[in-house]
Amino acid sequence: MPKIHNSINISAPVEKVFAYVTDPMSPLEWFVGMTEVTDVSGSGVGQHNRWTYSMIGIPFHGESEQTEYVPNQRSVSKQEGGIKSIMTFTFAPHEGGTKLDMDIDYTIPVPVLGKLAEKVVFKRNQREAQMSMENIKGTMEG
């Protein structure tokens, strides 16, 4: 299972960054490749939604459930469907702002993409994850 880790410092309070990142509709603004979020229900642990995500132009559909929710500290969600993943966000005060860490453990749908494409897709996903973090930073500091 490929793993992506990104970290970024944001000049905004932890509470503001946490509220934005954990808003189930906000990934439409910052998460590169996210094209649709629907059927949002619940809040905190157990929050659920359906999503559509485009990887190298191929749309994947799935569902997300919040499995851990510690306000202003940690958020973990599990994605099932076309792409299976676990996304973990960790929030910590840092120099008057926030240090945000994002860890994604996911399964590349190899039967769809093929073994040869796996490494290329992984590198692209790493770049897009970094761009997503920069999008959060830009919104929070803008």
pLDDT reported for residue 82:
85
- CATH number at 3-141: 3.30.530.20
Task: Provide, rounded to the nearest whole percent, the portion of the chain with pLDDT above 90.
Answer: 80
Task: Supply the DSSP symbol for 41.
Answer: E
pLDDT reported for residue 116:
64
Q: How confident is the model at residue 1 (pLDDT cuts 50, 70, 90)?
A: low
Torsion angle in degrees (nearest 10) through CA of 115, 53, 17, 77? -70
User: pTM for the whole thing?
Assistant: 0.92
Q: Span 127-134, mean pLDDT? A: 97
